[in-house]
Amino acid sequence: MSEKKIILSGIQPSGAMTLGTYLGALKNWATLADEFDCYYMIVDMHAITARQNPAELRKTQLSQLAQYIACGLDPEQNTLFIQSHVPAHAQLGWVLNCYTMFGELSRMTQFKDKSAKNAENINAGLFTYPALQAADILLYQADLVPVGADQKQHVELTRDIALRFNGIYGDVFKLPEPYIPKIGAKIMDLQSPENKMSKSSIADGGCLLILDKPEDIMRAFKRAVTDSETQVRFDAENKPGISNLIQIYSSCTGKTFEETEAEFSGQGYGTFKQSVGEAVVETLRPIREEALKILADKAYLESVYRLGAEKASRQASRTLRKVYKKIGFIEA
Ligand code: ATP
Ligand code: LTN
């Protein structure tokens, strides 16, 4: 087995991926393959905690896989797979449901947010979602879980579940850590910068997608909400709109917040917004072109997810077998 530390993460195919997903997650993932053994999934089983259109779900998954690759995840160096192709996720997910407390799940912010937004479908899967996420992570004995800041609570719960299980049965699971980027961990909505940019609220023009066209990106930045001052200065509390734009610009150009502030000192918001738009266009342009090219080759995509599932299954079934044995299941 490889000596490298193990990385695992996943994104829901519940809609098109956003600039927030790119800057908060994918961009970071693409830098890790040399140093780590990386597993990245498309979490279709998580996505059905909200009602999905089947044809749309199939399409979104292939598009998401094409974007993973276009964002720099080379399938030869990373294990890219679809969650439901590895049945061990459902199997360990059930077991961990029995080691996760009602009170713990009730405290999860994502559950509270999503059930408030979708009051007519607060299903049991939405509630127990973090136990399945814990299974995703623990099956691979992951050391690090690269995610945006909103997922920190789920990774912490995963550690608590692993500690509880290990406390009863001995060292079965590695304790994972969240791995959160310094810049870009929480990109906010361009129209309502007090909310996270999120694919489930793309209607108001505050959310940009990785596959958006350059003219749409420029238009969204021109319309981005700012404040009544004129100074480009980072102050997340009092200037959430401008601070978000600084974060996006810094993340796309590699400049620090200070360098960005200095560059636009004395210039109006109009110039700044134009430059942020251009930086995002240039960041996403090659990704969009590459993703569309890959998406046209269905046979290639199929070969990638088949191979990914095979590699992932090997690792996952080893952990599942160990768990079944520990808890007293009889080997089939
Ligand atoms: P949903 O609207 O369904 O909650 P989402 O747009 O938040 O979806 P996820 O699939 O939940 O997207 O997130 C994928 C990954 O991207 C996660 O690691 C998450 O932390 C990260 N991420 C998502 N949105 C942002 C954001 N606005 N800023 C930084 N990281 C983000
Ligand atoms: N809950 C995450 C998606 C997710 C995930 C995972 C992330 C499911 N399983 C395992 C990291 C590791 C989300 O909503 N973004």
- Dihedral of CA atoms 171, 173, 174, 179 in degrees, nearest 10, equals -150
Cα-to-centroid distance, 152 and ligand 1 (Å): 12
150 CA: nearest ligand 2 atom: 15
Question: Following DSSP, what letter does each residue of 245-304 receive, concatenated?
Answer: HHHHHHHHH---HHHHHHHTTTS-HHHHHHHHHHHHHHHHHHHHHHHHHHHT-HHHHHHH
Spatial distance between the Cα atoms of 125 and 130, rounded to a whole number of angstroms: 9
pLDDT of residue 276: 98
- Choosing from 27, 174, 196, 273, the catalytic residue is 196
Give residue-wise pLDDT tens across range 193-210.
999 998 876 667 799 999
From 330, 327, 329, 328, select the one nearest 96 (Cα to Cα).
327
188 CA: nearest ligand 1 atom: 27
Q: Is 199 in the pocket of ligand 2 (CB under 6 A)?
A: no
From 90, 112, 211, 97, select the one nearest 157 (Cα to Cα).
97
Spatial distance between the Cα atoms of 230 and 220, rounded to a whole number of angstroms: 19
Contacts of 146 (CB under 8 A, 6+ apart): 7, 9, 25, 28, 29, 32, 178, 179, 180, 181
* Exposed / middle / buried, residue 98 (Cβ in 10 Å: 0-12, 13-18, 19+): exposed
Spatial distance between the Cα atoms of 82 and 41, rounded to a whole number of angstroms: 5
| Whether 199 is catalytic | yes
Cα-to-centroid distance, 252 and ligand 1 (Å): 17
Predicted TM-score (pTM) of the model is: 0.95
Q: Is 67 in the pocket of ligand 1 (CB under 6 A)?
A: no
Low-confidence ranges of the chain (pLDDT < 70): 1-2, 201-203
Spatial distance between the Cα atoms of 45 and 83, rounded to a whole number of angstroms: 7
* Exposed / middle / buried, residue 204 (Cβ in 10 Å: 0-12, 13-18, 19+): exposed
Specify whether the CB–CB gap between 18 and 26 falls below 8 A.
Answer: no
pLDDT of residue 115: 94
pLDDT of residue 182: 83
